[in-house]
Chains A and B, each alone.
Chain A
Amino acid sequence: MTAEARQAPSRRPGPPLWLLLELTYRCPLHCVFCYNPTDFPHVATELDTGEWLRVLREARALGAVQLGLSGGEPLVRNDLTAIVAEAHRLGFYTNLTTSGVGLTEERLAALKDAGLDHIQLSFQDSTPAMNDFLSSTHTFELKSKVAALIKKYRYPMVLNVVLHRLNIDHVEEILAMAERMGAEYVELANTQYYGWAWLNRAQLLPSRAQLLRAEQSMRRFRALVGSRLRIFFVVPDYFETRPKPCMNGLGRVFLAIAPDGVALPCHAARMLPGLSFPNVREASIESIWYDSAAFNHYRGEEWMKEPCRSCPERSRDFGGCRCQAYLLTGDAANADPVCDRSPHHHLVTRAVEQAAAAATGGQPLLFRGLRVRKGAG
């Protein structure tokens, strides 16, 4: 990296191109792998319509252009259409992530009218519901109905399925189901271990053998359906030796606003210690993005420790995920332990090994002469 780029922190960063509004933490579902914080604030603290609209206007004025609307389940808010309409008027490209619960035709027609650009239907149910899904019972019917509506209103049908140990063996069935539903894109995203998912990691992390089988099924299916159904498969980073370039570097393009107005450089960053994240109720988006200590903290490279500090790859991956570094090593400035150059990499490989040991327990273990039944996990 050149000397010029190294001075980057003192220069004004670019605008927050990508704005994510987590409109609510309320959700009719209860996913074991939800990345929402485990101590989520009460509904009463949610921003009201006027406050969300002000956030949109201020961020747009700075140059924000992509808008994500998520939650929780954003359809729980009855001002969703008003928020979309204002975002559209301001020139945002609007993306809605929904479980589909509550997406009636009336609602979808209103959202389309308001200028909603894109919908992602996520499949994020807990285990009994996953069984529903696989056995074509009511969840499947709900999703199919919503999928048909999405197509009727001329949106591409994008299905997102979160994978973990309990469903990763069913990738083939999941894809077949997606095809029957008429999906055009399927994203199979492996669970990321923050929030609830972190607490349940021991039950959710798949084994390497499961992962390889899933990838094989996915490839077979992909060859079968060709471009009719495009499949994206996101490998869980625990199985890699280099971290993901998280958020393209904190504070560079991404700005998330939590339901209570707290501004975050990543939706999981609330857990990072020692930073006090500003609230849109008390500060403008401009001062939050450019001037707040929390947003400036992980910009540039000053904060980095070895091995990242002198690593030639630091401008590619920015040392990985701060939250993961913190959760696993206790220090958010360490290298993401997914990296095999990290002195803490063994924490990741050990978790994977433990997962492999636990995953073989899917079948009860039988020892000669002595029966040991392992919990179903």
Chain B
Amino acid sequence: MESLSEASCPAVGRGFRLQWESAQDAHVLLYPEGMVKLNPSAAAILTRCDGARTVADIISDLERVYSIEGLGEDVLAFLRLALQRGWLEFRQ
């Protein structure tokens, strides 16, 4: 498996679906017979993982939208966790 770098383009993993749930007032990730409710920062990152944007794009976009510098490490840490859980994958 490709390792995570600023140039990778992560996308929501096969079998998972990300969507807004108004009943939960949150973004959720759906998978076979289950659901995770996402907190706002997890949702902000995952909704940007469309398989086209690079990790670097995602980080700079988040820093711009939320007017915060130095989000890189936190975003990378979350992406690593999400990859491990299969929430994200790299598309060829």
Which B19-73 residues have a C-beta within 8 angstroms of A? 19, 21-24, 28, 30-35
Q: Find out whether the CB atom of A118 lies under 8 angstroms from the CB atom of B23.
A: no
The answer to whether A118 and B21 touch (CB under 8 A), given A17-B35, A65-B28, is no
- Determine how close the nearest CB of chain B comes to the CB of A136; give it in whole angstroms: 28
Q: Mark A14-48, 1 if CB is under 8 A from B, else 0.
A: 01011000000000000000000000000000000
The complex places the Cα of A156 from the Cα of B15 at a distance, in Å, of 8
The complex places the Cα of A113 from the Cα of B91 at a distance, in Å, of 20
The complex places the Cα of A93 from the Cα of B22 at a distance, in Å, of 15
Q: Find out whether the CB atom of A63 lies under 8 angstroms from the CB atom of B17.
A: no
The complex places the Cα of A377 from the Cα of B28 at a distance, in Å, of 49
Q: Find out whether the CB atom of A66 lies under 8 angstroms from the CB atom of B35.
A: yes
Q: Find out whether the CB atom of A117 lies under 8 angstroms from the CB atom of B17.
A: yes
Q: Find out whether the CB atom of A91 lies under 8 angstroms from the CB atom of B19.
A: yes
Q: Find out whether the CB atom of B33 lies under 8 angstroms from the CB atom of A95.
A: yes
- Determine how close the nearest CB of chain A comes to the CB of B90; give it in whole angstroms: 16
Q: Nearest 7 CB-CB pairs, A to B?
A: A63-B23, A93-B30, A118-B32, A15-B23, A91-B19, A93-B17, A95-B32
Residues in B neighbouring A15, C-beta threshold 8 A: 23
Other-chain contact of B33, A66, A154, A155, A156 (Cβ < 8 Å): A66
Residues in A neighbouring B28, C-beta threshold 8 A: 65
- Determine how close the nearest CB of chain A comes to the CB of B43; give it in whole angstroms: 16
Residues in A neighbouring B15, C-beta threshold 8 A: 117-118, 155-156
- Determine how close the nearest CB of chain A comes to the CB of B88; give it in whole angstroms: 16
The complex places the Cα of A68 from the Cα of B33 at a distance, in Å, of 8
Other-chain contact of A63, B14, B24, B31 (Cβ < 8 Å): B24
The answer to whether A65 and B14 touch (CB under 8 A), given A15-B23, A91-B19, A93-B30, is no
The complex places the Cα of A65 from the Cα of B30 at a distance, in Å, of 8
Q: B-side interface residues toward A, CB under 8 Å?
A: 14-15, 17, 19, 21-24, 28, 30-35
Other-chain contact of A117, B22, B24, B32 (Cβ < 8 Å): B32
Q: Mark A127-171, 1 if CB is under 8 A from B, else 0.
A: 000000000000000000000000000111010000000000000
Residues in B neighbouring A66, C-beta threshold 8 A: 30, 33-35
Q: Find out whether the CB atom of B14 lies under 8 angstroms from the CB atom of A154.
A: yes
Residues in B neighbouring A118, C-beta threshold 8 A: 15, 32-33
Q: A-side interface residues toward B, CB under 8 Å?
A: 15, 17-18, 62-63, 65-66, 68, 91, 93, 95, 117-118, 120, 154-156, 158
User: CB-nearest residue of chain B relative to A118?
Assistant: B32
Residues in A neighbouring B32, C-beta threshold 8 A: 93, 95, 117-118, 120, 156, 158
8 A-B residue pairs with Cβ-Cβ distance under 8 Å, sorted by A, are A63-B21, A65-B35, A91-B21, A93-B17, A117-B30, A154-B14, A155-B15, A156-B14
Residues in B neighbouring A120, C-beta threshold 8 A: 32
Residues in A neighbouring B35, C-beta threshold 8 A: 17, 65-66, 93
The complex places the Cα of A63 from the Cα of B34 at a distance, in Å, of 14
The complex places the Cα of A155 from the Cα of B22 at a distance, in Å, of 28
The complex places the Cα of A15 from the Cα of B32 at a distance, in Å, of 19
The complex places the Cα of A66 from the Cα of B23 at a distance, in Å, of 13
Residues in B neighbouring A117, C-beta threshold 8 A: 15, 17, 30, 32
- Determine how close the nearest CB of chain B comes to the CB of A336; give it in whole angstroms: 23
- Determine how close the nearest CB of chain A comes to the CB of B53; give it in whole angstroms: 23
Residues in B neighbouring A93, C-beta threshold 8 A: 17, 30-32, 35
The complex places the Cα of A19 from the Cα of B40 at a distance, in Å, of 26
Residues in A neighbouring B34, C-beta threshold 8 A: 66
